[in-house]
Structure 1
Amino acid sequence: MSLCGFFVAGPGDDGDPVTGFYYETVDADFARPQAWGYTDHLTYAPGDTLALHGVASAARVQVTIARDGLVPETVLETAIPGGFAFTPPDCSVTGCGWPERHRLTIPAEWKSGVYTVTFAVPGHESRHMFVLRPARPAARILFLLATGTWCAYNDWGGSNHYQGLTGPHGIEFAAEVSLLRPWASGFVRWPEGAPRIPHASPLLSRPRYPHMEFARANGISKKYASSGWAAFERPFALWCEREGIALDYATQHDLHRDPGLLLPYERVLIAGHDEYWTWEMRDHLDAYVEGGGRVARFGGNFFWQTRLSADLRTQTCFKYRAEAEDPAMRGDRTRLTSYWDHPFTGRPATASLGLTGSMGVYAGWSRCAAHGSGGFALYRPDHWSLSGTGLGYGDVLGAASKVFGYEVDGIDYEMRKGLPFAAPGSGLRGELTIIGLSPATTLAHSTGPHDEDRFIGRYDAEEVARIVYGRVDDETMGLASRGNGCIAEYRRGRGAVFNAGSCEWVAGLIARERPVEQVTRNVLTGDWG
């Protein structure tokens, strides 16, 4: 399949939407209309200085900054210098290094939120974004944006934590990724007509990935549906705005550096795909919960430990290469940038949020529980979070809109007289109440070459078996491939976490599925019992 937009083929690209390697970057021919840019930081507060860096085919670039929302609010329109500048081939890792084109002091009246920055010349425009945290709390709820995962998936320039141009042969994923580059197409604004990830291909056929097919055919990042503001947090924020639920905004990067960030808030909201966390982020979240805070998490795939540079502009995660390459192996191994459930960290994922990605992961796509219900089977319908839904024992929540999907978090559990309980040795630091659950897996089921998956396959199950269980054989592959995703309440210290452990919960809000909306209202605005 041919490429369009500003996408180019990476090393070994086979032209396939699923297995191919392609990415977005500057066209070296500056006779072609183009305008690109980024901010010098990801997050700011009123009174901070914001710098715009960019390149363009024209001498002047029109810039529009708007606070995103149901009706985006334009706060600045101006023209800034353009012109050509060199883009390093390793810009995904080291940053683009483009010249500063404009500088401004953020006015005190700009409200907390996500702000889009549009760079435009005749014939082309691109979008960037930054987050404005409040000068002082203005809402009861803080929306903590999963910016660690945004960074991990952003493939502008060729490299992210999944594929890349690094290593001795220029074909390996990047263990380090920079914020000093544009966001890939689809991360800031959802492409019109684009499908979400869950898709059940016909049985006994090779699984399709419609979102990847759409991306390659339309000049969109291959990872547009996996992460970014547009995929998860934006539709959640728009739903809250429609419901009259006020939010302040901050990022995981803010949480990393500020132990007191969460303390003024009654509740902290996390939504979508928060796969990547630093040790410091967890420290500060745990302290908030222990002290009486409430975390409302409607997200999935709590999985990898990362590190951030002192200036918060570079994220490091060696992933499955960590034992061989991460310098932490020669020092403090608890900081190894691998699974949180790696034996060296001594800090299981369940300790913070009650659930873990290594007991869940995939559902509703590929050959991974793709023909499941798409919702959570309910076991404790009298739980306060289900008040007003009308659902009972054995009913399924969210199946109509497929809220159980893409990547999910679960826990090892056992059944007692029809009720699920967390199994002993699960790594919990408090009391977990499982409200609902559904099966998930890391293994793409196959009966032969005719329905064999070319993307997930056996790889992830083998990796979980090796890292979590210490070896790869029939027994550990079985353990690694039998998982689940849960809705659960986790009481720890004086606080609590409500954890709807699925990336796709927001699909229920997009579809306005009434029971899903009711649970969300209960958690964000109701009494937690």
Structure 2
Amino acid sequence: MRIHVHTTAQKYNIEIVRDGASPLRVWSRVGQAGEAHETPVDAYERGCGWPVSVSFDIDENCLSGFYLIVVSMEMGGRTYEREGFFVVRGQDRPHRPSHVLVLTTSTMTAYNDWGGANHYRGLGNDPYTDIASPRLSTQRPVARGMLRQPIGAPRASFPGVLELGALPRHPSYEWAHVHGYSRHAADAFWATYERPFVVWAESQGYALEYLTQHDLHEDPGCLDSYACVTFVGHDEYWTWEMRDTVERYVKNGGNVARFGGNFIWQVRLEEGGTRQVCYKLPELDPLYEINPSRTTTAWDAPCVSRPGAWTMGLTGTAGCYNRYGTAAPRSSGGYTVYRPRHWVFDNTDLNYGDVFGAAPVCVAGFELDGVDYTFRHGLPYPTFEDGAPETLEILAMTPAVVGEIDKWNGAVPLGAPESEVKSFLQTVFADQLPERFRGECYGSGMVATFMQGKGNVFNAGSTEWVNGLIHADPFTEQITHNVLRRFGGGNSPDS
């Protein structure tokens, strides 16, 4: 393992911690000589280019896991810390765990604004104009807050009561600004999503091994040793190859437990996987005229012709925002149950029409996934017009909207203005704009299951599902147990 450190301090300390329910320090050094290095102004795209500062060997018996690299320095009586990470994959051995957690490294890369830009904003000289970088390097630090946050840091969903006439709030952005964290600290990755799931799962007796989305891209057979593959939180960005790996695994009999939401974008990896590309608007991508199916835009775009629902059953373009700014700010924040007899709801005592995970927990918040649907005799059914699998069953639902409505003519900051999203959809689909994106653009977040080949997929359809585990919501916990136990091949957690 080679670590690249840039610091103005004369000395610094470094430690490696296997993170989880019981963090374990596995390596440390104190009094390392500090050195500052020149950093390119476009490090967000090119990478930092810093030399190796510290290296060490990973023991061959090292447990699979997520490892934090914590670098600290002392100045003026205060301690300053920053973090990096690496992941150790599981080894081929007898009696390995049946569950593997795939970390959402592509989405982390998309939101990581260290160096000044990400796939959303940062370019140009006007701080009030969002200009995204379509090309991002993985060879740079991770923005502050994506790897570690203090307990109680706000999440992207709004858990409170919005009074009549009150202005919309984005607590996570406000908190990040005040405390010096990245604006996107609560939008993606370990601290907000995977870590709370791991803490809960380990405390419940589940043994996990670890992979990343980059493993899915580089190694098509990396999932084959596991009964259940889990995705948690925000897995918005995928390559074609990542989807191929998951679809092949499920068709061959594997099970996917997705406790996440917002499945939308195709990206490409270049430079040996060290650079991620996502232009979003098709005509901006140099590959658009050469190989349109690999254009880095929404999976549901006509040029790509590979609906997102094929892989996960649900997609962000049919769902999206809830309990976020002006996007359904006074909704229940939970899911309404429609098929209570499904095995997913075993031992939950939930009935038709019941709501679970409501505010302030908000298991159905921030960004949600759904499909085009209709109602018959009080039950929701997919229309299958957007590529949903024929075996898809919709189990629970909540309202979602395409974006935030601006009632203040630009005077109030919004995270995802409806006008911008509609403009994007019109550009991507042009004269093939689906009917569901015309008019008011209302959608739904959904909990759903389906079979594909010999395997099964459960989709919680919400980035905030893990909040139900954080707050020990009994319904969310029991549903999660039902899925992990059934898909893991047993009725009890791993020993």
TM-score (norm 1): 0.86
Deviation at 1:514, TM superposition (A): 0.4
* Residue from 280, 285, 288 that aligns with 2:249: 288
Secondary structure of the 2:192 match is: helix
Secondary structure of the 2:392 match is: strand
Deviation at 1:286, TM superposition (A): 0.3
Q: Report the counterpart of residue 85 of structure 2 in structure 1.
A: 129
Q: Report the counterpart of residue 104 of structure 1 in structure 2.
A: 56
Unaligned runs of 5+ in 2: 490-495
Alignment of 1:434 with 2:434, yes or no, is no
Matched AA of 2:205:
G
Deviation at 1:424, TM superposition (A): 3.4
Alignment of 1:329 with 2:285, yes or no, is no
Alignment of 1:61 with 2:21, yes or no, is no
1:473 and 1:234 mapped to 2: Cα distance?
A: 37
Deviation at 1:446, TM superposition (A): 4.9
Deviation at 1:526, TM superposition (A): 2.8
Q: Report the counterpart of residue 253 of structure 1 in structure 2.
A: 214
Q: Which moved more, 1:252-261 or 1:69-78?
A: 69-78
Alignment of 1:164 with 2:146, yes or no, is no
2:124 and 2:138 mapped to 1: Cα distance?
A: 17
Equivalent residues of 1:127, 1:188 under 8 A apart? yes
Compared with structure 1, are the counterparts of its residues 51 and 166 closer, same or farther at alpha carbon in structure 2 (3 Å cutoff)? farther
Q: Report the counterpart of residue 488 of structure 1 in structure 2.
A: 448
* Residue from 303, 311, 315 that aligns with 2:276: 315
Deviation at 1:164, TM superposition (A): 1.7
User: Structure 2 matches for 1:157-236, cutoff 5 A?
Assistant: 157-165=115-123, 172-199=131-158, 201-236=162-197
1:474 and 1:215 mapped to 2: Cα distance?
A: 38
Secondary structure of the 2:177 match is: helix
Secondary structure of the 1:118 match is: strand
Q: Report the counterpart of residue 223 of structure 2 in structure 1.
A: 262
Deviation at 1:106, TM superposition (A): 1.1
1:139 and 1:310 mapped to 2: Cα distance?
A: 33
Q: Report the counterpart of residue 153 of structure 1 in structure 2.
A: 111
1:96 and 1:227 mapped to 2: Cα distance?
A: 22
Q: How many residues align structurally?
A: 477
Matched AA of 1:366:
G
Between the aligned residues of both structures, percent identity stands at: 40
Alignment of 1:144 with 2:102, yes or no, is yes
Alignment of 1:443 with 2:403, yes or no, is yes
1:265 and 1:473 mapped to 2: Cα distance?
A: 38
* Residue from 18, 24, 41 that aligns with 1:73: 24
Compared with structure 1, are the counterparts of its residues 269 and 118 closer, same or farther at alpha carbon in structure 2 (3 Å cutoff)? same
Compared with structure 1, are the counterparts of its residues 238 and 210 closer, same or farther at alpha carbon in structure 2 (3 Å cutoff)? same
Q: Report the counterpart of residue 464 of structure 1 in structure 2.
A: 425
Compared with structure 1, are the counterparts of its residues 166 and 95 closer, same or farther at alpha carbon in structure 2 (3 Å cutoff)? farther
Equivalent residues of 1:384, 1:528 under 8 A apart? no
Kindly provide the CA deviation profile for residues 186-241 of structure 1, in whole angstroms up to 9, marking residues without a partner as x.
11112343211112533433312111111111101100110021010000000001
Compared with structure 1, are the counterparts of its residues 424 and 68 closer, same or farther at alpha carbon in structure 2 (3 Å cutoff)? closer
Kindly provide the CA deviation profile for residues 118-176 of structure 1, in whole angstroms up to 9, marking residues without a partner as x.
11121322111111111226210110111110111111110111112369999731111
Q: Report the counterpart of residue 501 of structure 1 in structure 2.
A: 461
Unaligned runs of 5+ in 1: 1-49
Matched AA of 1:426:
D
Deviation at 1:274, TM superposition (A): 0.2
2:412 and 2:433 mapped to 1: Cα distance?
A: 20
Secondary structure of the 1:315 match is: strand
Q: Report the counterpart of residue 523 of structure 1 in structure 2.
A: 483
Deviation at 1:476, TM superposition (A): 4.3
Q: Report the counterpart of residue 34 of structure 2 in structure 1.
A: 82
1:128 and 1:464 mapped to 2: Cα distance?
A: 36
1:467 and 1:51 mapped to 2: Cα distance?
A: 41
Q: Which moved more, 1:513-522 or 1:52-61?
A: 52-61
Equivalent residues of 1:444, 1:453 under 8 A apart? no
Secondary structure of the 1:369 match is: coil
Matched AA of 2:266:
Q
Secondary structure of the 1:241 match is: helix
Deviation at 1:472, TM superposition (A): 8.2
Compared with structure 1, are the counterparts of its residues 84 and 105 closer, same or farther at alpha carbon in structure 2 (3 Å cutoff)? same
Q: Which moved more, 1:465-474 or 1:61-70?
A: 465-474
1:411 and 1:511 mapped to 2: Cα distance?
A: 28
